[in-house]
Structure 1
Amino acid sequence: MIKVTVFRENDRIKAFELSGHAESGPYGYDLVCAGVSAVSIGSINAVLTLCEVDLDIEQGGAGGYLYVAIPGSIASKKMERVQLLFEGMLISLSSIEQEYQQFITIQDK
């Protein structure tokens, strides 16, 4: 199962973590894993490119691990844009969770 954990402070996303594998299909044909990967990596790339924010990113390992932290020292306008893009990511991940809840779970902390 893919576990998505969103860390918030004052109702704003501070960081998020994805871990695990959906195992909803054979390796290379796992649509849930592909969807989650596309949504999360696409959102990260959008923040990096459109907002020009250096995110703290840790990824790798056989466990399907990704951790992204937003620096606290970015300008307010930029932070609003980052928040909007990552909230959009969470809406897309929630859509996947609604359809495939046996393979993905999302929680806020």
Structure 2
Amino acid sequence: MIKASIDHFKNHVSGFKLTGHADAGEYGQDIVCSAVSVLSITTVNGLQEVAGIDLEVDSDDDNGGYLSVSIPVLSDAQKSIKADAILDTFENGMKDIAESYSKYINLKIN
């Protein structure tokens, strides 16, 4: 099971953590794991490339199944607006996945 948590600070997503594997199918065929992976990697790339934010990212690149992202407090209004749009989209996507595949993912919103 994937355990996901999304943290908030002053009504903004301040970070998220993903651990585990969905085990919803064979390796390479697991649509839940694939959906969470694509959404989380796209979110990190968007925050870095589109919003221009330096993030704290910790992952297990060798074994997978672990990603921790911490978003700094942003003083730049334009970066903050972009980050909020990207992170709100991530949160909505994770909620949809968790609702549709609750057997394979546990999502906590803090």
The alignment's TM-score, normalised by the length of structure 1, stands at 0.92
Equivalence map 1:1-109=2 (5 Å)? 1-60=1-60, 62=63, 64-109=65-110
- Contact 2:24 / 2:32 at 8 angstroms: preserved in 1? yes
For residues 45 and 85 of structure 1, what CA distance do their matches in structure 2 show?
Answer: 10
Q: Which runs of 4+ in 1 moved over 4 A?
A: none
Q: What is the Cα deviation at residue 30 of structure 1?
A: 0.7
Q: Give the Cα separation in 1 of the matches to 2:43 and 2:53.
A: 12
Question: What is the root-mean-square deviation in Å for CA atoms of aligned residues?
Answer: 1.4
In 1, the alpha carbon distance for the partners of 2:29 and 2:89 equals 25
Identical aligned residues as a percent:
29
Evaluate the alpha carbon distance shift between residue 74 and residue 59 of structure 1 in structure 2; reply closer, same or farther with a 3 A threshold. farther
**8 Å contact from structure 2 (residues 7, 13) kept in 1:** yes
Q: Deviations over 1:13-43 (max 9, x none)?
A: 1111011100000111111000100011011
C-alpha change, 1:66 and 1:74, in structure 2 (3 Å) is farther
The amino acid across from 2:73 in the alignment is G
Distance 1:81 1:6 in 2: 18
- Letter of the 2:78 counterpart: K
The one-letter code sitting in structure 2 at the alignment partner of 1:23 is D
State the TM-score, normalizing by the size of structure 2: 0.91
Aligned residue pairs: how many? Answer: 109
